[in-house]
Each structure stands twice: as structure tokens, then as C-alpha cells.
Chains A and B, each alone.
Chain A
Amino acid sequence: MAESHLSLRLARTWRSFVKPSICNRCLQTRRTLASQASAPQGQRDAELEEASSLGGAPDAGSGSPVRDFDPLKVPRSRKRQLVPSRYQFRSPKYYRGPLHPHQPPPPSDPASREFVPGPFSTPRLEQTYHNIIAPDFMTMCYQHTPPGFRAPQKGARLRPWIGDSPYFRNRPLRGPRGGDVLRLLRKPITFRNIPMIERVTVHSFVKGALSGGSGYIHVAGMALQAITNHRVMTHEARTNEANWGIIKGKTVSMTVDLKGEDMYHFLGKLINVVLPRIKDWNGVRATTGDNSGNLTFGLDPESVATFPEIETNYDAYPGKMIPGLHITIHTTATCDKDARLLLQQVGIPFYGKVVD
């Protein structure tokens, strides 16, 4: 080891002795006026190659490396199969930052550890939506305008500050009249923006877990998983709330976010089988909604127990621990009216006074 180091160092010093400090190429390029005048015109540059590389392959004889290259020779000569770890890509178990050379593939890649396969089926509700509900909705919301009609221009919702005050210059725009909330705009419904169900959030506040131990959490989690085909996400209380007996940091609730196939299966099951079996149920209150097209309603524990998954296996759940649910349906509608119309077509009945 030390010997090689020595020899390297020696070679370097030797080179500096032999060669001048200016390299060969620099010597050639460094020309004075006089030398340029004296240099003959026909002299060729030593570094320029005569033949073009595009012309054709250099003579490929039998002994040339081009002819001898045989990529299949090694695998054919192999006696037994290669071990899977040599040809299968294995995603790294840890993500070690963007600068690490071994990067995990994106979650959409089947080789990724976070890959979720699917969808495996086309749910009935999804087909109904695309074939029946969406065209119907567009037809119902069609508003005819004669050709050449131009909608009157509305003023900007965020108003500028107008006045003589010097403080109005460069001030952020004023909020809308009547409040600070900038509501979503409802655009006329065309084939491009027909509202559809985006996702469904199933939420359960487990009250029994505050005093009755963690059993309530486990039962509620399993019930929700059975209902929704999804692992639940648990949530801890963020603050102490003495009136409700909530202690900060304690697990009090759980949610499941459903999208796509699972969402449609859940909704289909809910609407067709579960909701009609609720005793003395008038429907969802029409005043629900957050003014931007997301509607919520709740189910009590008795009606949660009528889900087919829980009903077939009812003995597995302690009867008093079955949770109640809050179901939020997020739609792409920008106002509650459209969302209610969509859900009515889907099959959720509404009752009571309608507030828009």
C-alpha cells in the first residue's frame, strides 16, 4: 500500500521534470504573429483525424472486438437460473432523501412498496352515474340563451380601495360585501363540469373510548374497516376539553377517506341496503352542507349494525361498542343545491326546509 503511494508520487514528480509546464496542445495553439506568418499553409493539425467517423465501420475483421461481442454467451453458459434478487427490482425500504442514489419508484409503479392495485371492478353506481345521472343532470341544469346573448358583466368580487387616503395605495383588495368569505362561483353546467362525487369521508367519534378504555377504538376500527374495505386513520384529541371529558393526546375518533371504486361500492351498499332499513327515517335534512357542495349526514349505531358485513358477523362485535358514523360526501359541485340534486339522483332522500 505504502509502496504504491510512493511510486505514484515519484511518477508525478518525474513527469513534472520531463514535461514542461505548458502542455503540448497549448504549445501548438500558442502562436505569435511571426510564427503565424512563417507557418506553412499546408501543415495539418496533428490531432485532426483523416477519416470521418460517419463513413462506415472501420475494418471489422474476424478478430475485432465488434465481431466477437456476444451478449448472450454468458447467460447461455450459466448452468442454473439466476437468483431472483439479481433480476428483480426491489424498492428501497426507506426513503433517504432526494439526493440518495437509490430512489424508490413512484407509488403508481407496481414495484413500489406503496403501490395499491386496482380497480378490480366497475361499481354499479359508477356506471349509473356515467350512463344516466350525468346526462340527466346536464339536461336538467341546461339554461337556454338565445344566440348572440352576452351575460352582463359583473364587477370584480374583490374591490379596490377607492379614496383620497394615502393608505389606500398598494393596499390588498377589499373583501366581498357582507362578509369575509369568498364563496365558490357557480358556473353554468356544461358537459365539462357536471358535478360528481369526489370522495366520501366516513368519520366516527368514539365517545366510549374516553372512559371505557381502548376496546371501543378497536371495535370501531374493525367495524369501519369491514364496512368500507379500508384501514382507518385514528385521530387524537388536540386540546383538553373538560366538559366533554376529552384529554389531549388521547385517541378519540377515526376516519376513512374513500375514493374511486371503494367509494362507489360503499355508497351503493349504503343507499340500496342500509338506509331503507332505518326505522322512522325521513331522509337527510335538506339544510345540511357547507355551502360548497359537501353534504354530511349521520347514522346511529343501530343502523350501522344493519350493514351487511356487520349483520352477517354480528356476534363478532360487542353490541354496545358499535360506533355511530358521520358520512361526508364531497362533490365537485360548487353549491349545496347542485350537490343535493346530484345526491337525490343517486338515491339519497332529503326532507325539510331547503336553504340555499
Chain B
Amino acid sequence: MASALRPVLRPTHLASLPTSTSTTTYICQSCRHARLLRRPKRPYTFTQLVTLSDGSAFTIRTTSPVPVYRSTRDTRNSPLWNPTSKELLNVEDDEAGRLAGFRARFGTGFDTAKEARKEAEMESDNISNTPASPTAANAEAAKEPTFEDEQNMFEEDDMNLLDLISSFGQENTQQETQSPQPKKGGKK
């Protein structure tokens, strides 16, 4: 009776109060007097043995039910993680010499000359490495390449090519004056 005449001081809706209109589930999600203590949801995990490509293995907890995981590509055989390993560099193995033969027949002179020089260097390295260490050290010190040697990318064939270019239009005179062997350029 009296309370009906009194003005309602309590507002029906406040911005700060949580509204129950947004949730459709029955669970009391956020009300002031009772906060639901949710049980954390955790996916089931298995123990998995991860075997890396070099045979090392370790266990991890994972959601996948596969007991053993064998990896083919991992840190043990990836060149990014093994920058110094010789096996991981993509060197073509040409035991039968078929690739070299192909290159000799169809390849440019650039390719063949480089290959030949590399092989020669490898052989000389092998020879120099076999004797005792002091001599090997001496040999290496003697063989220490200079900056120009390293930076000079031109091979002999390129030299010939460059000569050819530089001597364009002077062929007749050169053939007359020069001996038949090709001129070694003064550029080297």
C-alpha cells in the first residue's frame, strides 16, 4: 500500500550491471552474487616418441594418438641448422661421369672449364693433406689465395671470349702479324 506510492529509487537497468539477455544458456554466467567456477577444459594428451632423422628420440605430450612419430626432415638434416656439414650441401654425385660428358658435349665452355679446375684443385688438396701436418700447413700457407685470385671470376675461356670481343674488327691485322697461338690478354 504505502510502498506502492513510493517512488522507485532503484533503477531497473544500469550500464554497469551485467545483463542476462545476452546469454541464452541457463547457467548463471556472471551475476554479482555467484560466479560460476568453471572446470578447465583440457584436451586429452598422449605420450609420443619423436624420432629425428639421425635416430635421436625424445618424448613429448601431444594430442595426436600416434605413438611414434618419425620425421624425415628436421634440424639434424636441414642445411639451415647445419651450415658446415658437407653432406647437406647439394653436390651432385657424378660417378659415372655422364653429367660431365653431357656438359662437355652440350654445355658452354664456361661450365667445362670450371669443372676441370675444381677437380684439379680437389686432387691437389688431397695430395697436400696426406703428408704430415707441418708440410701441409706450409703448403696451405703457400697456396693462400690472394684477393684478386678470389675476386677474379673470369676463366680462361672467358679470357678468350673477351679477347675476341676486344679484337673485333682487327682480325685481319692480327692474323697477319700474330703467331697462330691465341693471345694471352694483358688483363690478367
Spell out A's residues near B (CB within 8 Å).
91-97, 104, 112-114, 116, 120-121, 123-124, 225-226, 229-231, 261-262, 265, 268-269, 271-273, 275-277, 281-283, 308-309, 312-313, 347, 349
Q: In the assembled complex, which residues on chain B have CB atoms less than 8 Å from the CB atom of A226? A: 43, 63-64
**When the two chains form their complex, are residues A94 and B36 in contact, meaning their CB atoms are under 8 A apart?**
yes
**When the two chains form their complex, are residues A312 and B37 in contact, meaning their CB atoms are under 8 A apart?**
no
What's the Cα separation between A97 and B35 when bound, in Å?
A: 8
**When the two chains form their complex, are residues A94 and B35 in contact, meaning their CB atoms are under 8 A apart?**
yes
B68-95 with Cβ < 8 A to chain A: 69, 71, 73-75, 77-78, 80-81
> How many residues of B sit at the interface, in one of the four size bands?
20 to 34
- Return the contact of B64 from the options A94, A95, A308 (Cβ within 8 A): A308
- Return the contact of B33 from the options A97, A113, A309, A312 (Cβ within 8 A): A97
What's the Cα separation between A112 and B40 when bound, in Å?
A: 11
**When the two chains form their complex, are residues A276 and B34 in contact, meaning their CB atoms are under 8 A apart?**
no
Q: How many A-B residue pairs have CB under 8 A?
A: 104
Spell out B's residues near A (CB within 8 Å).
28, 33-43, 45, 47-48, 50, 52, 58-64, 66, 69, 71, 73-75, 77-78, 80-81
Q: In the assembled complex, which residues on chain A have CB atoms less than 8 Å from the CB atom of B69? A: 273, 308, 312
Kindly report which residue of chain B lies nearest to residue A265, judged by CB atoms.
B60
What's the Cα separation between A113 and B35 when bound, in Å?
A: 13
Q: In the assembled complex, which residues on chain B have CB atoms less than 8 Å from the CB atom of A277? A: 73-74
Q: In the assembled complex, which residues on chain A have CB atoms less than 8 Å from the CB atom of B43? A: 225-226, 229-231
What's the Cα separation between A271 and B76 when bound, in Å?
A: 11
- Return the contact of B80 from the options A112, A120, A283 (Cβ within 8 A): A283
**When the two chains form their complex, are residues B62 and A265 in contact, meaning their CB atoms are under 8 A apart?**
yes
**When the two chains form their complex, are residues A114 and B74 in contact, meaning their CB atoms are under 8 A apart?**
no
**When the two chains form their complex, are residues A113 and B62 in contact, meaning their CB atoms are under 8 A apart?**
no
Q: In the assembled complex, which residues on chain A have CB atoms less than 8 Å from the CB atom of B74? A: 272-273, 276-277
Q: In the assembled complex, which residues on chain A have CB atoms less than 8 Å from the CB atom of B42? A: 116, 229-231
Q: In the assembled complex, which residues on chain A have CB atoms less than 8 Å from the CB atom of B73? A: 276-277
**When the two chains form their complex, are residues A309 and B37 in contact, meaning their CB atoms are under 8 A apart?**
no
**When the two chains form their complex, are residues B50 and A91 in contact, meaning their CB atoms are under 8 A apart?**
no
Cross-chain pairs A/B with CB under 8 angstroms, 22 sampled: A94-B28, A96-B35, A113-B37, A114-B37, A114-B38, A114-B39, A116-B40, A121-B47, A121-B59, A124-B58, A225-B43, A229-B42, A229-B61, A231-B42, A269-B62, A272-B50, A273-B71, A283-B80, A308-B50, A308-B64, A308-B66, A309-B62
